[in-house]
Amino acid sequence: MTTITDIMRTSAVIPVLVIDDAATARPLAEALVAGGLKVLEVTLRTPAALEAIAEMKKVPGAIVGAGTVVNPDQFKQAVDAGAEFIVSPGLTERLAKPIIASGVPFLPGIANAADIMIGLDLGLTNFKFFPAEANGGLKALKALAAPFYQCSFCPTGGITETSAPEWLSFKPVLCVGGSWVTPKGATMGEVEAIARAASGLRG
């Protein structure tokens, strides 16, 4: 099975998607994949999210995961919808243990050293640093990453096309999460162009 490390290394940017209408999901996934962003995180923040995951899974090359997963029931629903990886905003043992036991790639959110230590106790070394900018930005992550040298990160929250390259230049950062790649009102052609620019940010 693909690991979360493999998924994080696939694209420099993981689009964080809030989808209100499942009918838009497949065309959106097609545009993002065509632009070079294959890893797609559909947040479970809307009633359409689970159907959107199933629709995006139909797009060749798309690696579709569920984000904003906060409890085991949501995890099961996401996997039943076809989610290939799970992202959570925080880390609890109640959520983590069934995901780890299932073997589904898991990217839990962390904000401090205690969170990382809980993750390490569970055998995890890949984390989402969230909310990245509100938690002190790159300076804070560099301070956290120093004692936890074995860990890799996907900073998410407040990151922009302008700030992403600086984050990506820090070795423990394998990718960043961003919502800027799907601006409101953008055409699919515009989304593809933004995705293409984002996919080249790692250099």
Residue type, 110: I
Crossing angle of helices 72-80 and 93-102, in 10° steps, is 30
**C-alpha to C-alpha distance for 8 and 154, rounded to whole angstroms:** 8
Alpha-helical (H) ranges within 57-177 are 72-80, 93-102, 113-121, 137-145, 164-168
Burial call 114-152: b when 16+ CB within 10 Å, e when fewer? ebbebbeebebebbbbbebbebebbebbeebbeebeebb
Pairing of strands 86-88, 39-43: unpaired
**C-alpha to C-alpha distance for 78 and 71, rounded to whole angstroms:** 11
Catalytic residue among 30, 128, 133, 192: 128
Catalytic residue among 41, 55, 84, 192: 41
Active site residue 41: yes
Active site residue 128: yes
End-to-end CA separation in angstroms for the chain: 28
Q: Cite the active site residues.
A: 41, 128
